[in-house]
Chain A
Amino acid sequence: MSFKNKPLTLPEIIYNKFMTQKKNKVVTKEDVVVKFVGDSGDGMQLTGNLFSDTAALEGNDLANFPDYPAEIRGPHNTVAGVSGFQVHIGKRVYSSGDLCDVLVAMNPASLKANLKWAKKGGTIITDLDAYDEKAVEKSGYSSNPLEDNTLQGYNVIKAPITTLTKDALKHLNLDPKTAEKSRNMFALGMMYFMFNWKQEIAFDFFAKKFKKKPELIESNKIALQAGFNYAETVEAISVTYNVPAATLEKGRYRNISGNVATAWGFLAASERSGRPLFLGSYPITPATEILMELAKYKSLGAKVFQAEDEIAGICSAIGASFAGSMALTTTSGPGLSLKSEAIGLAVMTELPLVIVDVQRGGPSTGLPTKSEQSDLMQALFGRNGECPVLIIAASSPSDCFMSAYEIAKLSMEHMTPAILLTDGYIGQGSELFKIPKVADLAEIKPPIAEPNDPDYKPFKRNPKTLVRKWALPGTEGLRHRVGGLEKENITGNVSMNAENHQLMTELRYNKVMKIADHLPEQQIFGAAENDLLVVSWGGTFGAVHTAVEEMINEGKPVSHAHFKYIMPLPKNTESLLGKYKKIIVCELNAGQFVNYLRMNFPQYKYRQYNKIQGLPFNVSELKDAFNKIIKEK
């Protein structure tokens, strides 16, 4: 085996190119799923992110799924410590894909944990050096899987990745640990070869990422090159892929994760509304990235307050909202529980406030790094008293941008707290995002009271929308008090009057329900009347849409309604549900949205498909379930 630890000379490159063209078959594929897996310290998240950024820059559509353990560094070489990152690239993709065409496994434990996700006949690239007796034993394999028949039926590339990486970096005299850490880039280099990608994209990335550690720019660059050259030189990779460029609308694009998109949506809403952004928040997985992202933009006037706890996070936001900021708090399930009482305070004081819940597996601490849709009922009903709030659920990483923008707009314009539901899967996953212009986004007009308005009363309402005015402290002539005690309608004075309480309860509820007048109608994908309607909501859009689209292409009588507006529901919900013989509601919980529909529209019969494994839906399992129902008479 010829291996070079120095950059190649020109004749060598020409020779290699020539040999490549001769040796390798280039296959055009509409979409490919690649998964990188290794120990949680192996840098799989970085590798996966760089892989998907490159795919995007090479023109592909993509969707990602990071899958990592709750521990920062799980036990070495065990299944519990495996961290993974799945990328689906192609012409047009909606989900991170079911099974992978290429599995890059950095050690036996990660192979053991992920082999079930590899397509039969797919390619497995693994580090030969990682299979010593001890590592194999710790992984739970009874014998070395590279030597028995475990991997029969797969195209296995056993590369001595550790040795080759260390050899390639020898002349840099790095400490062995730093050198070994570049293994992931060696593996990524092999993937660059497999997809015929330009290595310069990675080099640019290293230059930016390791600006302060120039030795890492060099070591990662050499490791990536070494991997690329290795793949090019050995005959193991017999097929390279050509994935056609994405068929997307014209425009400027970037790759974006759901949590970053959420943060940016709020920044855009703040700029468009003229209301300064205030975030009061406490770090919690998987929502922390929103807090970290917004903390970067003081230059845009964002005030980000890392509070002492979840309750202080929301309470500071309520204070900021009273004072006139576009106020936010971000959290995940357990944090939403802690914020419940304060959400009630925002409902009672009728102040705008957005609470973002990036859902994770529950109850209690549950599965912090895994995704679930099990906070829906908590968002709808998890508070004391009659306590309605606006609820919107984002459907994909890039949709988090518009969802954040829209919920901030509606919350301010309708003077109501609002909950934005996303989840770990779309929050941390990423996909392509068509960059909008802020000026093209819908206008935001909060109902701010004018100074010395003689008609101002704290709880006097717009008769159409039932919205009260937002009178900001510091404004002349509008001094007033609000609080958690029941208010007298119009004056806002404390009132324990029986009839007034009923009236105010109804007003608060109707105010939220009237937001439906400002929402688009629920859209249907597929026929408006059909045998089967598939209903889904929130972060499952990608897999469910793909399943339905494939079935429609197969001629099956199925349509899809994906809900984004949860409270209130779009006005046409009731009528559209009546146009299908069968309805199935799919969600990643034990059946929360389906019960919400049963409660609202009890005249229909609902089937349900639920998965509570901390994992997203697979397209194949959904199709199986839908096909079964279609066959029912």
Chain B
Amino acid sequence: MEENLTVDRTRVPLGKEDFVSDQMVKWCPGCGDHAILSSLANVFPKIGYRKENFCVVSGIGCSSRFPYYVNTYGFHGIHGRANAIATGVKVSNPHLSVWVATGDGDSMAIGGNHFIHIIRRNVDINIMLFNNQIYGLTKGQYSPTSPMGSVTKTSPQGTIEHPFNPGELVLGAQGTFFARAVDTNPKLMTEIMFEAAKHDGTSVVEILQNCVIFNEGAHQVITSKDLRDEHQLILKNGEPMIFGKNKDKGLILRPHGLEIVTLGQYGITEQDLLVHDQYAQDPGIHLMLAKMTPPYFPIALGVIRSALFPTYDDLVEEQIKRSKVNAVIKNVDDLMNSGDTWEIK
């Protein structure tokens, strides 16, 4: 993949300390957000942009306190609007590397409209979607990603709503990049963030994050020691899709969809397994992967899709450049004196 060429690169090497802010981090002890913050501070110096060219934008929610805790240009917006604000930042100054910190309430509920439209436009922005399946900052109400039947403070008898699968939503909105990470695996998260930064276009990284206070153990079926190997498929581009404690399970594509097979059984070998192609233009298999959920399937982690399409901000610049070439109207005086005018003497 080509690296993003719009953003200016640093001339001096940077370290994690360049991005730590002087503000006290006020998330609950044990919150998954701490791991995300640490991953980001690790990945920013690696990306290699000038430190002044990072800009972190957020909406409202626990996740949205993020900008205060990284030493970059930062904007803490209003509920649901981070993606709209970030669009304005990036279109206004395409030399910035723009990051959005948002949650399942911020981007799936109140800001759902902006979320699908930023993706549809493919604005070159990296969205970190913290998904803890609960409203934490307002103390424990269900969110659009809470599984059906979740008992919360606003659903004492269990929710009766079908939850969103963010990956499905992203791909449905013609997303060009979707990856999934989990807060218990910071190494993978850092790698994914780096991939997101490299991708030209809207990158959505869903981070399965644990809210220790209001939704402890929401992702346990994926993260617990005894289940994780059976329930996580870590995707690597160009490699066959293998998972399981003994690395003996894999995915194959049947006419009716994906199927789990055991290597060695019925003569199945690695050759028969589906090989991951994150750069495929067609999102068909990416969608199947994004939709997999335990217990029937493992959950797909890593970069699910990273397809190259023109970005909105590049097209804006290109149109401006092109229209300047043969412009008759070169300044506002030209404009005001164009068309029908006359002199009164």
Contacts and interface: CB of A to CB of B under 8 A. Distances in A.
A120 B68 CA distance: 71
A114 interface: no
Contacts of A380: none
A544 to B, nearest CB: 26
B142 interface: no
Contacts of B344: 59, 245-246, 248-253
A633 interface: no
A320 B89 contact: yes
A474 B52 contact: yes
A483 B67 contact: yes
B114 A308 contact: yes
A566 interface: no
Interface string B302-334: 000000000000001001100110010111110
Q: Which 7 A-B pairs have the closest CB atoms?
A: A483-B76, A319-B88, A316-B88, A299-B327, A481-B74, A315-B84, A320-B92
Interface stretch (A227-235, A322-330, A388-396): A322-330
Contacts of A476: 50, 52
A481 B84 contact: no
Interface in A297-327: 297-301, 303, 305, 307-309, 311-312, 315-325, 327
Interface stretch (B28-36, B291-299, B335-343): B335-343
Interface in A249-284: 249-255, 264, 267-268, 271, 276, 278, 280
Contact of A316 (B60, B84, B340): B84
Given A297-B335, A315-B81, A493-B23, A323 B89 contact: yes
Given A484-B77, A485-B76, 7 more contacts: A303-B316, A311-B81, A312-B114, A436-B336, A474-B93, A481-B67, A484-B78
A630 interface: no
A494 B65 CA distance: 10
B91 A264 contact: no
A298 B92 contact: no
Contacts of B224: none
B52 A473 contact: yes
B57 interface: yes
Nearest to B320: A298
12 contacts: A280-B88, A298-B323, A305-B88, A312-B87, A312-B117, A323-B55, A323-B88, A344-B78, A435-B336, A473-B93, A482-B74, A482-B76
Contacts of B333: 437-438
Contacts of B8: 474
A87 interface: no
Contacts of A510: none
Given A305-B87, A324-B93, A53 B81 contact: no
Interface in A24-62: 53, 56-57, 59
A9 B75 CA distance: 73
A311 B284 CA distance: 33
Interface of B: 8, 21, 23, 50-53, 55, 57-58, 60, 67-68, 71-78, 81, 84-93, 95-96, 113-114, 117, 316, 319-320, 323-324, 327, 329-333, 335-337, 339-345
Contacts of B21: 481
A480 B88 contact: no
Contacts of A345: 77-78
A454 to B, nearest CB: 16
A254 B88 contact: no
Interface in A462-480: 472-480
Contacts of A574: none
Contacts of B51: 479
B109 to A, nearest CB: 14
A271 B329 CA distance: 13
A303 B319 CA distance: 10
Nearest to B56: A481
B84 A312 contact: yes
A53 B340 contact: yes
Given A312-B84, A483-B67, A320 B91 contact: yes
Contacts of A478: 52
Nearest to A312: B84
B53 A319 contact: no
A276 B323 contact: no
B75 A482 contact: yes
A267 B85 contact: no
Nearest to A301: B320
A283 to B, nearest CB: 15
Contact of A319 (B60, B85, B324): B85
Contacts of B86: 319
A483 B101 CA distance: 14
Contacts of B342: 56-57, 59, 252-254
B329 A297 contact: yes
A475 B68 CA distance: 18
A483 B61 CA distance: 13
